[in-house]
Amino acid sequence: MIKEFFRRKLLPYVDTLKSHPNLQFLGHLLHDPNLWHINRHSLSNGMAVGLFAAIIPLPFQMLWAAILSIIFRGNLPLAVVLVWLTNPITVPPLYYVSYHLGAIMMNLDAKKVDFSFSSNWLSSTWWVETLGAIWEPWLLGLMTIAILSALIGYLTVQWLWRLHVVLSWRHRQKNRSLTEKPPTSSQ
């Protein structure tokens, strides 16, 4: 059941990703069957890699997710799909929280960042001045959130898989005990 959920609801088709033009430089590495299997270990690793790559502010996050998935032998489709958790709607609150978390971790007072959509905001000087003042706590917060979310994602998949196995096992034992006939005593 859990395999079918991931296969049908969450993951893109394997052939689509294998033939994606931006991933062709990986060549034969894409044909490792462990990158495409749906099992506890590959999904856990794919979840961790995807969440980590989604939060790190690098360009080409899907590419980084694919490379990390190959290195850590995680489910590549899941890792690539999870990168889309960060988007123009989710990035501003993530960056805000990560800056404040980093400031707390570094024992700094959080600076107020003046933000308004204007020509000044679009200029490169605003970005240099603002990021120059807050980049250390911001990156510390981002790395902390990325590592924690990867760890939580990994453990969650491991736990859900284990829970599914235990519940399936109990269900089978219950069905088996209902279908068995009690032994007849012959004297």
Task: Supply the pTM of this predicted model.
Answer: 0.74
Which residue did the predictor score with more confidence, 168 or 8?
A: 168
Q: State the total domains in the chain.
A: 1
User: Does a structural domain hold residue 153?
Assistant: yes
Pairwise CA distance, residues 150 & 144, whole Å: 10
pLDDT at position 78, please? 92
User: Does a structural domain hold residue 176?
Assistant: no
pLDDT in tens, 55-95: 998 888 998 998 999 999 899 889 999 999 998 889 888 98
User: Does a structural domain hold residue 56?
Assistant: yes
Length of the chain: 187
Average pLDDT over residues 114-127: 58
pLDDT in tens, 11-40: 556 666 666 676 666 666 777 777 888 889
**59: region left, alpha or beta (phi > 0 left; psi from -120 to 50 alpha):** beta
User: Does a structural domain hold residue 110?
Assistant: yes
Pairwise CA distance, residues 66 & 50, whole Å: 9
User: Does a structural domain hold residue 101?
Assistant: yes
Pairwise CA distance, residues 136 & 128, whole Å: 13
pLDDT at 131 > cutoff 90: no
User: Does a structural domain hold residue 185?
Assistant: no
Pairwise CA distance, residues 110 & 136, whole Å: 12
Please report which confidence band the pLDDT of residue 175 belongs to, taking 50, 70 and 90 as the band edges.
confident
pLDDT at 145 > cutoff 60: yes
Percent of the chain with pLDDT over 70: 72
List the domain range (segments joined by +) for residue 94.
2-170
Percent of the chain with pLDDT over 90: 41
CA-wise closest residue to 130 among 141, 119, 115, 140 = 115
User: Does a structural domain hold residue 186?
Assistant: no
12 contacts: CB under 8 Å, gap ≥ 6: 77, 80, 81
